[in-house]
Structure 1
């Protein structure tokens, strides 16, 4: 709450703060002084920490003084792995079940949304929920979706595992008895061979994401509006910056145009560092080479800048994160193309991030890096890291540290923890991912959500998991 009572200091050489928060419990991040009572902000940055009386001289005629009433104050949060660009383009199109405690309530929300959805658009429930959060401990049925929205197409994505569609959704997607199953996925059919509305990732999620991509998109003006709403929602949870990990169905430069326009207009409320992700199998090396010749990490400004490549460099090197299915075996010999991709990047000073769920994948990637290290290319000038790393081993962590790498972990176990436990056992689940072992080796460990398609974009759900190890 804004307060009076602090007298502005007389004019002096020390610059006054734009904002002073007093009577607070300020988390400083400094192990020698972990807490402070007041914080001063100038030009959007922390200018000083201390007690109320220590910072009183920073109050000037234009300083806004806020009494925190003894509440906790933390710095703006950074989500180190968030699909913020793609999420913004679709935010106003989605119905969120984050934190909804009963399937009955979720279906009521679906019925309400059907009454508001414009003709031709779909209802999309994408990310932030799991069946285990509902009191009923189950997913909705296709029949329930049909009853809730008989005429509006519905697509409900459940983790990396499956999706449900109502009858109208199946028609809108163009699925018929003659539609073939995509590679790594299944369109489930009834006894007559007709698609019944269930899609299964077996084990890859391409069938889920390619179906979602069939839904109508927004025009340019509505994409800007949607993105602004999404960024404000992230601000509401305390996020002031994020690293966009790119991803499938996010093409450069086309799908980056909205955030670029907002940045040019000074309308971003979240600082974004973004990555570039080759979209087409067989074209990855050409894409990476073209990018290194036309743009470079650091391009942009404090609000929007290029960070590097990833989270995939080549499609053949990417594993899947569907813990309801056995670990996929990656193709033999993918390392040759992968080595060329990494070489293009490190020789041009690019950093990169790599999607790698399993230690089996990480070990194979590390062997490529060690080969390049023998040529003096690792550690290089660009930062590099593994994303996810749920089952990374102690030996692999030692190798990552030796090569100057880092790890970015996300709370996928908040939503998939039970599936992981059922497949790999409670002991393995208790150490997945091994965050303490990473820190003990001096590795930089970044945290994120991997939102929006599976996890919630609420960073406090991720922080709760990091501290407690509990699922939602």
Structure 2
């Protein structure tokens, strides 16, 4: 057996290499986690012998491994292990779902819900009076679709000792009625954590089980890696357990949170955590929040929304954010900043533009979401070198006619600046696409489709939202392969199918560069390879 003989070879495929020196090929061979050959079948067979596993690639289009630029595996696994409320289309359906869940509940358990659409509330704020009589003394915590607000019932509030106003860090709030009685609405994580801390915890072993199942489902959609925008307590222990089990995983870059109120010691801990790694995962970067969301009135806009809300940053005063970014950047740590509103993105961009020297490993600073952006902000992005990280499948939460909660709050002018993926990319701004799972589905075929259709695939009855912002197929594919590799400083080893690069590959049952987005969304994923190992086959 020769030294270069392959472990695995795919022959007879359509190979979209994204490598300018050889844009297309028919076959690929891998060995020991690296690509060793790319070419036609005859060229690649020279690297094969009796021990090489040969995969028939007929009908398969191979691309570099798909990378989700923004997701939350541990947080999402915990959240989605509860009651899915996304199908509730009005308050009565919500109440019926909770009543059914209560009947099936074991003594001492909580009802945990997720995906609650604020549009079913007809413009009203979430309030526990909507659910208290249905639940009685069963504690419940329901997370809204944007995951930046939650609704706790009276029983959960009492267990948490919340009987009146409670001071929480940043632009977060435990909402109370005029008489000081908590409504149950919890805005942003610091408020939600007041109730979360008395709810039953999910241990590391159970988390590892949830992740193993999640990664298997992600592999089946073609995902090979992701940029993880959190590092919950217990995340590292669960990932280490998976490593010990030898479980198939994803190639993950994890960015722990940096929250308002952090002191010098906390910042040093985040810096020291960088480079912590396992078999396929590494801690690389830090996630910060400049604001919340438009739907619950905690975004930071240049001008208030229609309710007079979304007027403040998450960090109060915002200079503390600037100081935290300066210290992290000075230590070579790349940052990712959640900024949905135009004022939040503008302020973050101003701060990050001062810190564009290479970070550890060459990773870049980035801003997440950017849901509404004026022309001036797009121009500044192009000049800054800061990466735009966006989630086109979040368009499912808005409507072209502006009748939804998000659009109503912003008004038509700002709603018409929705998710300007094309303008940012074509201005010269590096663009990374992701799902923000569990806020939207992790299936990259859905993300790629939404980027091109400006609506979700499979919903032809929905009008596209700002169709001028649609990406071309190659632009969308590069934003989930080349771009996430480049912004991580890994463009020399990932994002292309080229000898010497990582053997992370996605095999679609349709060509993402020539098939329609609808066709791609329906096509199977035939093969997913992570680190040279076939983790999914159809």
Mapped partners of 2:294, 2:413: distance in 1: 19
Give per-residue Cα distances to partners, 1:150-196, cap 9 Å, x unaligned: 78544332224754556765666566xx343666546577x999877
Mapped partners of 1:38, 1:108: distance in 2: 54
Give per-residue Cα distances to partners, 1:343-379, cap 9 Å, x unaligned: 2122221111111112212322333345xx4xxx533
What is the match of residue 253 of structure 2?
Answer: 273
What is the match of residue 15 of structure 1?
Answer: 5
Question: After alignment, is 19-28 or 353-362 more displaced?
Answer: 19-28
What is the match of residue 86 of structure 1?
Answer: 75
Shift of 1:386: 0.9
Shift of 1:390: 1.6
Shift of 1:413: 3.1
What is the match of residue 65 of structure 1?
Answer: 54
Higher relative contact order (CA 8 A, sep 6+): 2
What is the match of residue 443 of structure 2?
Answer: 458
Alpha carbons of structure 1 residues 95 and 46: separation in structure 2 relative to 1, 3 Å: farther
DSSP-derived class of the 2:74 partner: helix
Asked whether the 8 Å contact 1:259–1:268 carries over to 2, the reply is no
Alpha carbons of structure 1 residues 125 and 68: separation in structure 2 relative to 1, 3 Å: farther
Q: Where do 5+ consecutive residues of structure 1 fail to align?
A: 1-10, 313-317
Alpha carbons of structure 1 residues 117 and 24: separation in structure 2 relative to 1, 3 Å: farther
Shift of 1:305: 1.1
Mapped partners of 2:270, 2:126: distance in 1: 44
Question: Is the aligned partner of 1:387 residue 2:387?
Answer: no
Give the TM-score taking structure 2 as reference length.
Answer: 0.66
Give per-residue Cα distances to partners, 1:416-437, cap 9 Å, x unaligned: 5533322334564454221112
Question: Is the aligned partner of 1:415 residue 2:397?
Answer: yes
Shift of 1:269: 1.0
Alpha carbons of structure 1 residues 53 and 419: separation in structure 2 relative to 1, 3 Å: farther
What is the match of residue 7 of structure 1?
Answer: none
What is the match of residue 303 of structure 1?
Answer: 280
Mapped partners of 1:361, 1:409: distance in 2: 15
Give the TM-score taking structure 1 as reference length.
Answer: 0.74
Shift of 1:58: 3.7
Alpha carbons of structure 1 residues 42 and 414: separation in structure 2 relative to 1, 3 Å: farther
Shift of 1:307: 0.7
RMSD across aligned C-alpha pairs, in angstroms?
Answer: 4.2
Question: Is the aligned partner of 1:470 residue 2:470?
Answer: no
| Alignment size in residue pairs | 433
Question: After alignment, is 455-464 or 403-412 more displaced?
Answer: 455-464
Question: Is the aligned partner of 1:262 residue 2:242?
Answer: yes
Pick aligned residue for 1:238 from 208, 213, 222 = 222
Shift of 1:401: 3.8
Alpha carbons of structure 1 residues 73 and 290: separation in structure 2 relative to 1, 3 Å: closer
Mapped partners of 1:469, 1:162: distance in 2: 26
Alpha carbons of structure 1 residues 113 and 267: separation in structure 2 relative to 1, 3 Å: farther
What is the match of residue 291 of structure 2?
Answer: 319
- Equivalences for residues 99-138 of structure 1 within 5 A: 118-127=106-115, 130=117
Q: Where do 5+ consecutive residues of structure 2 fail to align?
A: 298-304, 460-538
Mapped partners of 2:53, 2:96: distance in 1: 44
